[in-house]
Amino acid sequence: MNKQKRTIEELLEEALVTVEEHSEVPENWIYFYFTSILDISGGTQPPKSQFISEPKEGYIRLVQIRDFASNDYPTYIPFKKNLRVIEEDDILIARYGASVGRILTGLSGAYNVALAKVTYPKNIIDRKYLFWLLHTEHFQSPLRAISRSAQAGFNKNDLSYFKMPLPPLKEQKRIAEKVERLLGKIEEAKRLINYIPELSENFKKKIISAACEGDLTRDWREGQLDVEDAMKLLEKLFNKQEANGKVKKRNNSVEQEKVLHHIENWAITKIGLICEMQLGKMLSRKAYGENLIMLPYLRNANVQWGKVELSDVLEMGFKEEEIEKYSLKKGDLLVCEGGVVGRTAIWNEEITPCMYQKALHRLRCDKDLILPEWVYYFMLDSHNKGEFEKLTSQTTIRHLTQEKLKEVNIPVPPLKEQIEIVRRVERYISIVDELEIKYREIFNELLQAEKSILQKAFRGELETNDPSEDNAIELLKEVLQEQVK
């Protein structure tokens, strides 16, 4: 027995969303359920053994999600009749993983299972209208709900209750044209401000470089008559170290030991001579057990440029006599021994007590003579110029040994100039940081503007609707009539 055909009225009742169930739209618009007039088709997944990377006769391009971002790694497969094929104008939806819900178009070939092609009646739905509609929360919001629970992606039945707005065909075209025009202006605005992060980063590097080379305070030096020469500062430092028994007595004068800097009252010395250096404790099985005091300690991953990340601080055991040796004090510099070698941050006593692991060098300055900030600027400038890569041991994993770090030459300005350098650097960097904050605010505002345009467009609020045009229900009847035949 033949299955009884449904009437147009029955099909309309199934396809139409009642007024009570959807947002307010112009009177000549309707809402329909996605699968009443739209369909999706998943792709095919040939075995990887058939993949080749160059075009060849009898082969077809295999379109994958990654191909819409880059054409660097094209894949070709043998052409077979069972493959699902797309043209450049076809609209696809990403079905899996982090890309789920991405709306894609512009490529041709056979598409794989991670993509679904949207099939639609082209005589009643404008392609560009549908493309932008699928970007909106009408489609994306319920799709996210499905994706959270369906690990295997989505299928046609999952979309059956999605409610989609449909205006008259001419209005669809007007909406698509205005959306593209407005979003184009926003894209241009984003392009114009997208240079700011790179510009800011380059400016910061130049500020740090100018500070370390003496250019940042050149005008300041010209107006100073009573600034103590850095050689005398070093002599004070070394005398203090000798008096405290931290170094052996020097027979030679500072002037004979040190190399003069190109700036008259600056000097050059080695980091190991102006900073007390200590590697952290080796992590071992003995780090846990009886008679040990459990304390927080920092690892390489905790030290970022200019800051210490404390969201994942671990603990290990220390003997009582180890606590003084491996504890951190305010103003200590922490330098990565491996990973991003030379990466440095200043410890500001965010938690106390706090220790550190062998993956880190601790540099402790006499803050009355050498500012930790000055040493930090030098470390950052050296990193920016690639100097630390030259010092690392040539193994599979690079290491900046204590012996190599001690021998690094560092310029030393007079203490008053160090103070002025820190003041100026902090001021300039704060200005750049404020610019970056403003950039992020503007960028987020542009993203919100994009979202607002799409929301308004598909609620009929772009002032494009013509109420004299036929109700969109006539379009729906037209496509449903084909199902009655």
pLDDT at 268 over 60: yes
Given a cut of 50, whether residue 252 has pLDDT beyond it is no
Say how far apart CA 79 and CA 50 lie, in whole Å. Answer: 11
pLDDT grade for 65, boundaries at 50, 70 and 90:
very high
pLDDT at position 60 is 96
pTM of the model: 0.77
pLDDT at 152: 60
pLDDT above 70 (res 150): no
What pLDDT, on a 0 to 100 scale, did the predictor assign at position 216?
A: 96
> Greater confidence, 469 or 339?
469
Cβ proximity of 455 and 176 under 8 Å = no
* Environment class of 118 (CB within 10 Å of its CB; exposed 0-12, middle 13-18, buried 19+): buried
Mean pLDDT of 327-349: 93
Share of the chain above pLDDT 70, in %: 92
Enumerate helices (H) and strands (E) in the chain, giving the number of each.
16, 22
Residue 119: closest CA among 481, 400, 479: 479
More confident residue, 372 or 255: 372
Which among 138, 142, 161, 42 is positioned nearest to 96, based on CA atoms?
42
What is the token pair recorded at 315? 């603990």
Residue 255 clears pLDDT 70, i.e. is over it: no
Q: Could you tell me the pLDDT band of residue 393, with boundaries at 50, 70 and 90?
A: low
Please give the Cα distance from 251 to 447 (Å, whole number). 67
